[in-house]
Structure 1
Amino acid sequence: MTSQPSESSPRPTSTGGLRASHDDREAVVEQLRDAAAEGRIDLDELDSRLEQALNSKTHDELAALTADLPRPESAVDLPPLELNGGVHGASRGPERWEVPGHVIARGGLGGVKIDFSRAECRLREVVVEAYGDAAGVTIVIPDGWVAETGGMNPGLGGLKDKTTPDRLPGTPLIRLTGSGGMAGVVVRHPNRWERRKLQG
């Protein structure tokens, strides 16, 4: 005889009914500000919707605030970018490249460098899955971009986050996952030499 679930058992819920996170609310806030800058909503309506967004508890409540606005362009359909350091190393950037929603970097024996300085990113959030392995992974993000490193396992090599926490409106969040491995993972803003090359 099969037992019936008790009334206290959790019931399946739709995605829209899930509780919203701080990042979910912030993404909607940025979309509303962009819409106001484009003249799609006036300032009074912006203030009203911003207040509702900050007080929203679920995805459904947030979705209602942007239902009449164009969806932001995204690169979610791009396949994940995989960089394997192997023996000789691998890199992406600083030349222009389009950022997918998921980047995987394995340092191997040669190391990997990912430079977002000139990248075209139309996403609110990018997951960078980094494994330092024996030679390490270096990630360079522009000023104004922010890295979230709470999902990283530092491993033996550790994680060095040299970025600033001041995020500019409309910039993506780089969410780091993975492991530092033997050589570690570094995330930073461009150094003096890299800045000089960008200006040249």
Structure 2
Amino acid sequence: MREVRLREADRDRAVHLVQQAYAEGRLSSGELERRLEHVLTAASPGELEPVLADLPDDLDGMDDVVELGSTGGAITRAGDWRVPRLLRIHSGYGGVRLDLSQAVVSYPVIDIELHLEYGSALIVVPPGASADADGAHTDWGGITSKVPGHAGTPHVRVSGRLAYGRVKIRHPRSWHRK
């Protein structure tokens, strides 16, 4: 009988559970590293069981993934909108503007995946938020972040690929760091 391969969604779920347990003080930093290594190298669902067995399976919002797409127009979210745990954006010929400064953000960590061919992305994070674009890659453009890379809430992680475009992450213009 052939063993079932581990789906990426299941791996992501396991990573989230382990990180959540660490954030709640259930795991030491050494235990976090050991378990994440095990999760990231697992090949089958059965290999995850011992890593997750003693962790609570409280994944409110774990399936909170929104996908937005456009072939030729801009994708914009601003004002009072609900930010999902994972926002996945695909665009052929259009820019992206995500303003989280007045949005309803229910998660301490937000993931934004950008898959843009021709177009740039502007991400405005709330005052006090942090962000990193360590997982983002651009072929012909640049990535600029004018916010702290850690220790803010929420923390926004930007990843993905832009063929011809830029990513800019900043706070609202009206907010001045004191």
Please report the TM-score for the alignment, with normalisation by the length of structure 1.
0.58
Tell me which residue corresponds to 1:52: 31
The CA deviation at 1:148 is 3.2
For the structure 1 residues 125 and 95, does the alpha-carbon distance in structure 2 shift closer, same or farther, using more than 3 Å as the test? closer
Match of 1:190 among 152, 171, 174: 171
Aligned positions, number: 158
Compare CA radii of gyration and give the structure with the larger one.
1
Residues 34-73 of structure 1 correspond to what in structure 2 (within 5 A)?
A: 34=24, 46=26, 49-50=27-28, 51-56=30-35, 57-59=37-39, 60=48, 61-66=50-55, 69-73=56-60
**1:14-53, Cα deviation, whole Å (9 max, x unpaired):** 549xxx99x93x862443443x5xxxxxxxxx4xx32423
Matching of residue 165 in structure 1 with residue 149 in structure 2: yes
Which blocks of at least 5 consecutive residues in structure 2 are unaligned?
40-47
Higher strand share: 2
Letter in structure 1 aligned against 2:149: P
Aligned to 1:31: 21
Choose the corresponding residue for 1:99, options 75, 84, 91: 84
Q: In the TM superposition, what whole-angstrom CA distance separates every residue of 1:130-163 from its partner, at most 9, and x where no partner exists? A: 4262x522122334332233341x2323332333
* Structure 1 residue 128 displacement after superposition: 1.7
Query: Shift in Å at residue 121 of structure 1?
Result: 4.2
Structure 1 residues 11-160: aligned runs within 5 Å = 15=6, 24=15, 28-34=18-24, 46=26, 49-50=27-28, 51-56=30-35, 57-59=37-39, 60=48, 61-66=50-55, 69-74=56-61, 76-82=63-69, 86=73, 89-99=74-84, 101-106=86-91, 108=93, 111-117=95-101, 118-122=103-107, 124=109, 126-131=111-116, 133=118, 135-142=119-126, 143-152=128-137, 154-160=138-144
Q: Distance in 1 between matches of 2:107 and 2:60?
A: 6
Amino acid at match of 2:93: G
1:179 is aligned to: 162
- Let me know the Cα RMSD of the aligned residues: 3.7
Once the 2 structures are TM-superposed, how far is the Cα of residue 189 of structure 1 from its aligned partner?
Answer: 2.5
Distance 1:167 1:130, change over 3 A: farther
Residues 125 and 188 of structure 1: CA distance in aligned 2, closer, same or farther (over 3 Å): closer
| SS of corresponding position for 2:79 | coil
Deviation of residue 79 (structure 1)? Answer: 4.2
